[in-house]
Amino acid sequence: MDNSQITQVKARKIFDSRGKEAIEIDVIASHVLGRSSSPSGASTGRWEVRSYPNGGVKEAIRFVEDVVSPKIVGIELDVKQIDLVLHEIDKSTDFSRLGGNTAYAISLATAIAGANSRGVPLFSYLSESNQSEVPYPLGNVIGGGMHARGGKTDIQEFLVLPTKSETFVSAAEANMGVHRKVANLLEKKGVDVSGRGDEGAWVVPLETEQALEILSEACSRVSDETGVKLRIGLDMAASTIWDEQEKVYIYQRDKRKIHEDGQIDFVIELANKFHLGYIEDPVHEESFEAFSEITAKTSNTLICGDDLFTTNVERIKRGIAEKAGNAVIIKPNQIGTLTDATQTAKISKQANYISVVSHRSGESCGSEISHLAVALTAPIIKLGILGGERMAKINELIRIEEILGEEAKMAKIGI
């Protein structure tokens, strides 16, 4: 806790990387400013808190000005205390009155003000350990699903993950190298590129295995050139291709419909054939049992829950009990506050689940998740490869690595 009281809270409308409305919060205390905004996702889980109240950003701003500000002005700069007050003000289980995006922006702005009041980096202010680990960057190279338009893949994200690198800088450079190499291979193979998606990934009209073959070749070449060990990953966002009525996964580009058992077999087949290091949301968000089966039948692969867990303590506890997955996405605005997100990360770590602090498809140019990943000692940060709002986070981790100096070491992923 800091010996300075909050004197003012401001809320305003800004725009995210997709040009959609977002909320920005200023928390002012004793002549220091904490400013933060919240991202938003296109592919969202059923169990996420409400992004905004009825009335959207406009209503959220009114609620901050009329209700929240009078309640927290005068309180000491203490993130846990502010987060508790936000829950007390909202009174719902899903932040339906305030909005999870609003709650997160207030929570984060408070933490930034606290760090500024102490004159320390945000990661240092938030950290509860003495470890100085830097996460590996997980980046989207080929994108489809809900993050793209035009001719595209069925699967939402084809990813690249460095698993062995001397520095974060070299890991990030390798990811960028794969992005460029894929573009070259697509051109050589005469594949028409539809453009780039929300997160800067190439959008191409390829079937799943065609895209994986190109990405595999690119990773192999870049790994040989740089010495950085690279693995392929997928974010299947399976809830977005799951038809609840027919009880099938619909792959339009691949021209196939498959039931749950078939989806499990398909995922395991891809994992084995392409030596996948990471698979996110391979089945829909209610299928803990199928998650467990995939986890049991794959080895040396991270099976990660996003829509399954939604940064929710109770959901991750269930996953741990049922051995569903071995990794968890941490997106603070899914749950509303830094305190809630931190608790989920702690419980996950205790169960040996790998935490993956993640961006969202509609991002701000803020770099706070870079600090959060270091503070939580998360082994992986999912932040894209190209685009100003993605590069802001990559460049901030380069600065953090520099601040840590000789103490900096790359995290251990375990695959």
Per-residue confidence (pLDDT) for residue 72, from 0 to 100? 97
pLDDT of residue 132: 83
Model confidence band, residue 2 (pLDDT cutoffs 50, 70, 90): low
pLDDT reading at 39 higher than 90:
no
> Do both 84 and 112 map to the same domain?
yes
- 């945000």: which residue's tokens? 122
The phi, psi pair for 249, rounded to 5°, reads -95, 125
Do 103 and 163 lie in a common domain?
Answer: no
Sequence-separated contacts (24+) of 391-399 with Cβ below 8 Å: 392/365, 392/366, 392/367, 393/359, 393/367, 393/369, 394/137, 394/172, 394/370, 395/367, 396/367, 396/370, 396/371, 397/134, 397/135, 397/137, 397/168, 397/172, 397/370, 397/373, 398/168, 398/169, 398/172
Question: What is the pLDDT at residue 119?
Answer: 95
pLDDT digits (tens, 9 = 90+) for 164-210: 999 999 999 999 999 999 999 999 999 989 889 888 999 999 999 99
Q: 79-120 pLDDT, tens per residue?
A: 999 999 999 999 999 999 999 999 999 999 999 999 999 999
- Predicted local confidence at residue 46, as pLDDT: 84
Active site residue 80: no
Question: Cα separation of 313 and 303, whole Å?
Answer: 18
* Same domain as 211, residue 70: no
Identify the CATH number of the domain in which residue 132 sits.
3.20.20.120
For the question of residue 331 being annotated catalytic, the response is yes
- pLDDT at site 406: 87
Q: What are phi and psi of 136, to 5 degrees?
A: -85, 140
pLDDT at residue 1 greater than cutoff 60: no
Res 44 pLDDT > 80: no
Which of 152, 181, 331, 382 is catalytic? The answer is: 331
Predicted confidence band of residue 339 (pLDDT cuts 50, 70, 90): very high
Tell me, letter by letter, the H, E, C secondary structure of 11-32: EEEEECCCCCEEEEEEEEECCE
For residue 299, how many C-alpha atoms fall within 13 Å in the half-sphere facing its CB?
Answer: 0
The string of DSSP letters for 27-76 reads EEETTEEEEEE--B-SS--TTSPPSS-TTHHHHHHHHIIIIIHHHHTTSB
pLDDT of residue 194: 86
Shared domain for 336 and 307, answered yes or no, is: yes
- Residue 21 maps to which CATH number? 3.30.390.10
pLDDT at 146: 77
142 and 23 both lie in a single domain:
no
Last residue of a domain, one of 79, 104, 120: 120
Q: Which of 120, 135, 156 is the last residue of a domain?
A: 120
pLDDT digits (tens, 9 = 90+) for 128-147: 887 789 999 999 999 988 76
Q: Which of 24, 199, 285, 293 is catalytic?
A: 199
112 with 154, same domain?
no
Confidence label for 50 from pLDDT (cuts 50, 70 and 90): very high
Q: Is residue 199 part of a domain?
A: yes
Domain residues for the domain of 142 are 126-410
pLDDT at residue 34 greater than cutoff 60: yes
- Number of structural domains found in the chain: 2
